[in-house]
C-alpha cells in the first residue's frame, strides 16, 4: 500500500538565505572557538603551523625538526594564515578553516538540491545535512581531511550540474563545467594527494561511458591531467629544492605506499613520523559495506527509504550518476590496502541527494510506499529522542544541571512542533523547521557539554604547568609521534630534542637545569633511576588513560 502526500506551496524567497545564514552562524559558534587542541589530528596540524610561524617552514611541513609529509600543505597553509591574522597561537583560529570548508560542503549540497528541486526542498535538506555527524565532526576538527571532503563535494556538484535530470535538462555546453571539474580535481591534490581524484573519477567515467560521451571523457581526462601538472609542478620543484628525498616521500610513500602493501625489505628508509606503509592496514575489505548507510547518520533510515525512490526513477542521467557513485566508490576503496570507514565520507554528497530526491517526490504529491514513509518517520522520531536524550545523558555523565534544563527546553520545542506538524510530517516546511530545531538543539548541547569534555581531552593545563616548571631549563622529550610531539612546540613555543627513555636519568644527572616531557609509563619503567635525580614531577591524564609526565632536576 502507498501513501500520497499533498504538494506544498513554494518557499518564500527570504527563507533559504535566512536558513543558510543561521546554519552558518551555528557552525561557527559551536565547536570552533570553545575548546583546546584535541587528538587525533589537531596536534599534528598545530605542530606544523607552529613550525611555519616560528621557523618559516612553509613549503615542506615539519613537526619539530622532522619532515611531516603525510598530507600536502593546503590545510596547514590555511591554518597558518588564520593564526597569523589572529596574531597568536589559538586552537579556535586553527580550527576555523575546517568550519569554513564544512560550510563549503553544505553550500555544494544546497546548490545542487536547489537547482534540481527548488528552494522548498533545499530548505528541507540543508538543516538535515548540517546535523550529519560525520560532516559536523570533520568540519569542527583541524584536519586536512575536511579540505579533501570539500573538494569532493564541489567536484561531485559540478559534474552533477552538467547532467540532465527530471525536469532539468543538461546545459547546452558542458565544457565550462568539465573545466571547472578538472581544476577542482587538480587543486584537490594539495588537500590529500590523489584521494579526491581516486574517489570522484570512477563514477564520473562510468556515467560518461554509459552515455557513450567518448569525446567529453577524453577532454575531461586531458584537462584534468594538464591541470594536475600545472598545479602540482611548482610545489614538487620547491620540495626538490628543499630536499630531493621529500619528493619521494610525497609521490611514492604517501601516494603509492598507501595504496599497496610492500614487504619490509622493499621499503625505503623512513623518517620517525612516516607511517605510509603501515597506516590504516587493519580494516577488512567489507568495512565500507558495513558503514555504507552509517556515514549519513543520523539520517541512515531516511537514506535507505530514499533508495526506493532512486529505484523508481527512469531515464534520468543524474540517477545514473548516483548509482555509479553509490556502487563504484566503495568498490574502488576496497582495492586499496589502506582501509578506513572515513574514506567513505565523500559519498555523503550522494547520500544527501538521495534523501533530497525522496523529499522532493513527496513535495510534488508523489506516492511513497508505506515502508518508505515509515522509515522516514521512524528516523525523525529517533533524532527527536537524541536531541532530547543526549543533553540528559551528558548531564548525568558530567554532572551539569544546565544540560538537564536544555534537554527540557528541546523537549518542549519538539512537542509543540509535533502538535503542529501532525498529519503533514513530510511537508517541506515542517521538515525544515524540525531540522532547524535539531541543529539548534545539538549545537546547544555541545556548547554546554564542551567545557567538561575539554577538561578530559585537552593537555593545555599540563603544558601550562610545564611552561612554568621548564623556565630556564634545557628541554627534552621522549615523545616521537604526531599526536604528542607537536604539542610541545605549540604550547611551550620551543623545540625539544627527542631522546630515548633510557637516556633520561643520564640527562637529569647533569649539573645544568634539565627537564624532560615523557609518557607516564616510561617514567614508571625507569623511576628507580629517575627519582633520585628528578625531584620535580608534573603529570596529567592526556585523555586516553595514559599520562604525560614532566620530570626535572634541582640544578641551580
Q: What is the pLDDT of residue 556?
A: 54
Q: Summarize the confidence of residues 337-341 as an average pLDDT.
A: 88
Q: Which has the higher per-residue pLDDT, 543 or 25? A: 25
Answer whether residue 122 shows pLDDT above 90.
yes
Sign for the CA dihedral angle at 317, 320, 324, 325 comes to positive
Q: What is the pLDDT of residue 57?
A: 83
Q: What are phi and psi of 62, to 5 degrees?
A: -130, 150
pLDDT one-digit tens code per residue, 59-98: 999 998 899 999 999 999 999 999 999 988 999 999 999 9
Q: Summarize the confidence of residues 438-456 as an average pLDDT.
A: 94
The total of other beta-carbon atoms located within 10 Å of residue 469's CB is: 16
The torsion angle over the Cα atoms of residues 17, 22, 25 and 26, rounded to 10 degrees, is -140
Answer whether residue 165 shows pLDDT above 90.
no
Q: What is the pLDDT of residue 539?
A: 82
Q: Summarize the confidence of residues 275-299 as an average pLDDT.
A: 87
The DSSP bridge partners found for residue 551 are 516, 537
Distance CA 550, CA 487 (A): 14
Distance CA 100, CA 150 (A): 10
Q: What is the pLDDT of residue 166?
A: 64
Model pTM score = 0.94
Q: Summarize the confidence of residues 318-338 as an average pLDDT.
A: 93
Distance CA 15, CA 29 (A): 21
CB 113 within 8 A of CB 20: no
- Dmax (CA) for the chain in angstroms is 86
Answer whether residue 1 shows pLDDT above 60.
no
CB 306 within 8 A of CB 141: no
**Spatial CA neighbour of 132 closest among 5, 326, 302, 275:** 302
Answer whether residue 5 shows pLDDT above 60.
no
The total of other beta-carbon atoms located within 10 Å of residue 397's CB is: 12
Query: Considering the chain, what percentage of its residues have pLDDT values greater than 90?
Result: 70
Q: What is the pLDDT of residue 97?
A: 97
Residue 2's pLDDT band (boundaries 50, 70, 90)?
very low
Q: What is the pLDDT of residue 377?
A: 92
- C-alpha distances in Å from residue 82, one per residue of 91, 172, 363: 10, 41, 42
Distance CA 306, CA 351 (A): 9
Strands (E) in 319-451, as ranges, are 367-369
State the DSSP H helix or E strand holding residue 461, giving kind and residue range, or none if neither: helix 460-469
The mean pLDDT value of the chain amounts to 90
pLDDT one-digit tens code per residue, 515-554: 999 999 899 999 899 989 888 888 876 555 458 999 999 8
Three-class secondary structure of residue 515 per DSSP: strand
Q: Which has the higher per-residue pLDDT, 171 or 166? A: 171
DSSP class of residue 194 equals B
pLDDT one-digit tens code per residue, 454-488: 988 899 999 999 999 999 999 999 998 899 999 99
Answer whether residue 253 shows pLDDT above 90.
no
pLDDT one-digit tens code per residue, 424-434: 888 888 999 99
Answer whether residue 285 shows pLDDT above 70.
yes
- C-alpha distances in Å from residue 256, one per residue of 71, 185, 414, 508: 13, 18, 50, 43
Answer whether residue 284 shows pLDDT above 90.
no
The total of other beta-carbon atoms located within 10 Å of residue 194's CB is: 18
Distance CA 341, CA 122 (A): 28
Residue 200's pLDDT band (boundaries 50, 70, 90)?
very high
pLDDT one-digit tens code per residue, 202-251: 999 999 999 999 999 999 999 999 999 999 999 999 999 999 999 999 99
Q: What is the pLDDT of residue 333?
A: 93
CB 497 within 8 A of CB 486: no
Distance CA 461, CA 467 (A): 10
The total of other beta-carbon atoms located within 10 Å of residue 497's CB is: 11
Amino acid at each position: 500500500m502507498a501513501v500520497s502526500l499533498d504538494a506544498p506551496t513554494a518557499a518564500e524567497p527570504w527563507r533559504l538565505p535566512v536558513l543558510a545564514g543561521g546554519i552558518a552562524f551555528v557552525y561557527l559558534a559551536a565547536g570552533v572557538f570553545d575548546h583546546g587542541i584535541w587528538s587525533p589530528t589537531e596536534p599534528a596540524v598545530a605542530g606544523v603551523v607552529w613550525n611555519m610561524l616560528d621557523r618559516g617552514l612553509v613549503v615542506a611541513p615539519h613537526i619539530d625538526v622532522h619532515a611531516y609529509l603525510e598530507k600536502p600543505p593546503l590545510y596547514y597553509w590555511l591554518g597558518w594564515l588564520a593564526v597569523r591574522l589572529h596574531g597568536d597561537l589559538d586552537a579556535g583560529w586553527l580550527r576555523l578553516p575546517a568550519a569554513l570548508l564544512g560550510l563549503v560542503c553544505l553550500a555544494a549540497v544546497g546548490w545542487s538540491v536547489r537547482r534540481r528541486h527548488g528552494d522548498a526542498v533545499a530548505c528541507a535538506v540543508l538543516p538535515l545535512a548540517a546535523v550529519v555527524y560525520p560532516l559536523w565532526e570533520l568540519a569542527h576538527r583541524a584536519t586536512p581531511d575536511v579540505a579533501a571532503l570539500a573538494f569532493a563535494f564541489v567536484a561531485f556538484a559540478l559534474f552533477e550540474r552538467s547532467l540532465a535530470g527530471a525536469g532539468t535538462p543538461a546545459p547546452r555546453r558542458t565544457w565550462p563545467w568539465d573545466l571547472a571539474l578538472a581544476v577542482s580535481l587538480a587543486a584537490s591534490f594539495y588537500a590529500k594527494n590523489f584521494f579526491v581524484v581516486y574517489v570522484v573519477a570512477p563514477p564520473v567515467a562510468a556515467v560518461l561511458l554509459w552515455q557513450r560521451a567518448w569525446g567529453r571523457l577524453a577532454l575531461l581526462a586531458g584537462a584534468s591531467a594538464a591541470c594536475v601538472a600545472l598545479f602540482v609542478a611548482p610545489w614538487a620543484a620547491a620540495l626538490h629544492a628543499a630536499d630531493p628525498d621529500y619528493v619521494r616521500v610525497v609521490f611514492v610513500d604517501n601516494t603509492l605506499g598507501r595504496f599497496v602493501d610492500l614487504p619490509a625489505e622493499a621499503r625505503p628508509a623512513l623518517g620517525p613520523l612516516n607511517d605510509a606503509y603501515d597506516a590504516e592496514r587493519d580494516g577488512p575489505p567489507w568495512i565500507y559495506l558495513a558503514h555504507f548507510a552509517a556515514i549519513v547518520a543520523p539520517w541512515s533510515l531516511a537514506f535507505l527509504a530514499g533508495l526506493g525512490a532512486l529505484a523508481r526513477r527512469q531515464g534520468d542521467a543524474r540517477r545514473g550518476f548516483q548509482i555509479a557513485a553509490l556502487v563504484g566508490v566503495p568498490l574502488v576503496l576496497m582495492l586499496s590496502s589502506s582501509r578506513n570507514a572515513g574514506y567513505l565520507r565523500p559519498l555523503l554528497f550522494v547520500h544527501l541527494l538521495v534523501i533530497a530526491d525522496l523529499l522532493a517526490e513527496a513535495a510534488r504529491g508523489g506516492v511513497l510506499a508505506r515502508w518508505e514513509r515509515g522509515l522516514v518517520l521512524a528516523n525523525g522520531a529517533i533524532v527527536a529522542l537524541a536531541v532530547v536524550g543526549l543533553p540528559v545523558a551528558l548531564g548525568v555523565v558530567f554532572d551539569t544541571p544546565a544540560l538537564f534544563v536544555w534537554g527540557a527546553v528541546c523537549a518542549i520545542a519538539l512537542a509543540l512542533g509535533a502538535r503542529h506538524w501532525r498529519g503533514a510530517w513530510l511537508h517541506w516546511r515542517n521538515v525544515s523547521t524540525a531540522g532547524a530545531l535539531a541543529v539548534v538543539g545539538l549545537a546547544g548541547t555541545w556548547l554546554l557539554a564542551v567545557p567538561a569534555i575539554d577538561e578530559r581531552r585537552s593537555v593545555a593545563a599540563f603544558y601550562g604547568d610545564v611552561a612554568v616548571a621548564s623556565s630556564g631549563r634545557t628541554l627534552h622529550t621522549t615523545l616521537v609521534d604526531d599526536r604528542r610531539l607537536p604539542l610541545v612546540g605549540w604550547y611551550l613555543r620551543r623545540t625539544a630534542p627527542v631522546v630515548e627513555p633510557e637516556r633520561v636519568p643520564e640527562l637529569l644527572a647533569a649539573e645544568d637545569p634539565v627537564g624532560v616531557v615523557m609518557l607516564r609509563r616510561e617514567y614508571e619503567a625507569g623511576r628507580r633511576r629517575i627519582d633520585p635525580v628528578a625531584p620535580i614531577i608534573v603529570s596529567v591524564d592526556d585523555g586516553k588513560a595514559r599520562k604525560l609526565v614532566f620530570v626535572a632536576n634541582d640544578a641551580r
